[in-house]
Amino acid sequence: MNCLVDGNIPPSSGLSSSSALVCCAGLVTLTVLGMNLSKVELAEICAKSEHYIGTEGGGMDQSISFLAEEGTAKLIEFSPLRATDVKLPSGAVFVIANSCVEMNKAATSHFNIRVMECRLAAKLLAKHKCLPQEEVLRLEEVQAKLGVSLEEMLLITEDALHSEPYSPEEICRCLGISLQELKTQILSPSTQDVLSFKLYQRAKHVYSEAARVLQFKKICEEAPDNTVQLLGELMNQSHVSCRDMYECSCPELDQLVDICRKSGAQGSRLTGAGWGGCTVSIVPADKLSSFLANVHEAYYQRSNRSLVPEKQSLFATKPGGGALVFLEA
């Protein structure tokens, strides 16, 4: 099989360029072999494939790559994987702005440490609620087993976890396991030497962020007069939580988010894994041209960042269709 690969997604920018490549490779291989899989099956295979380079990622990027439809956003849910249409407000545009700080998830451990902190937090929460922690890997599983709301999970997190970082030894005491068991049975290879874990902050971010996703969908469905303002407020809350609780922002992203808000965005936040990459802002449609001009001047012209091709660094976007194969007639 001979392949020529080309692409226009800026790499290491938080816009899922690696997932795009993996999904493209999966779809092309299926086509060449004359095989058929459902979009859901293909998304799940591609999500597993990315783990082979050492990043403990989820399946959101691969899912939207295949399940996206033109003109609608999608609420992605897992276990089982499914996608629900969400109609975005007509009076607003979502704008991507690249901080031009590259983040290579495969070459650094930040990303995997967060995954392990969430895993450990899930196990401590399970233990606190007398659930078998051995069977729990994800925070969502604790909520599902308890059958409670996200808001209740936030209260349980306040009750069960302390805000000071946990040492590996304290985690072992809490779970009733040895240090060897922690390293070999729970932690991934790249996180076995980490000396402190912030469990309270990570759990609080995950549960509150999940609640914001559902609130975002609800506002889009109810479509009140101030929809754009309300969605913007949720995006702003999200960035604060990413910055302070999940600690996956960086100074350039914080600066760019601030500039976007001052330039007319109702809300702005980092997108993708963080530590660099892009912001996404919700901008009233009638302010789009002035917003683009203001952000270009304030962030890109005042530094060497203008060397990055502008069409890759600042652009308005709308929901497009998912991965396709074009066959020549």
- pLDDT band per the 50, 70, 90 thresholds, residue 132: very high
What is the predicted pLDDT for the residue at 190? 87
Alpha helices in the chain (DSSP H): 17-33, 39-50, 60-67, 110-128, 139-146, 150-160, 168-175, 179-181, 199-222, 227-244, 251-262, 288-295, 310-313
What is the predicted pLDDT for the residue at 304? 64
% pLDDT > 70, the chain? 96
Q: Which amino acid is at 274?
A: G
User: Per the structure block, which two tokens stand in for 123?
Assistant: 């196990």
Q: How does DSSP assign 103-144, residue by residue? A: --GGG-SHHHHHHHHHHHHHHHHHHHTT--GGG--SHHHHHH
pLDDT at 64 over 90: yes
- The closest of 298, 226, 231 to 260, measured between CA atoms, is 298
- pLDDT band per the 50, 70, 90 thresholds, residue 12: confident
Strands 278-284 and 82-86: unpaired
Phi, psi of 92 (to 5 degrees): -140, 155
pLDDT at 202 over 80: yes
CA dihedral 261, 264, 268, 272 (to 10 degrees): -120
For residues 279 and 312, what is the distance between their CA atoms, to the nearest angstrom? 13
Specify the DSSP class assigned to residue 305. G
Tell me how long the chain is: 329
Q: Which residues are annotated as catalytic?
A: 61
pLDDT at 56 over 80: no
For residues 196 and 286, what is the distance between their CA atoms, to the nearest angstrom? 48
Per-residue model confidence as pLDDT tens digits over 233-278:
999 999 999 999 999 999 999 999 999 999 999 999 999 889 999 9
Q: Are 307 and 88 in contact (CB under 8 A)?
A: no
Q: At what angle do helices 110-128 and 199-222 cross, to 10 degrees?
A: 90
pLDDT at 306 over 60: no
Collapsing DSSP to helix, strand or coil, 1 comes out as coil
User: Per the structure block, which two tokens stand in for 23?
Assistant: 């999904």
Q: Are 268 and 83 in contact (CB under 8 A)?
A: no
Q: How does DSSP assign 247-276, residue by residue? A: ----HHHHHHHHHHHHTT-SEEEE-SS-SS
Give CB contacts under 8 A, 24+ apart, made by 136-140: 139/203, 139/206, 139/207, 140/78, 140/79, 140/210
For residues 164 and 198, what is the distance between their CA atoms, to the nearest angstrom? 7
Average pLDDT, the chain: 93
pLDDT at 170 over 90: yes
Q: How does DSSP assign 233-246, residue by residue? A: HHHHHHHHHHHHTS
- pLDDT band per the 50, 70, 90 thresholds, residue 136: very high
- The closest of 53, 58, 61 to 106, measured between CA atoms, is 53
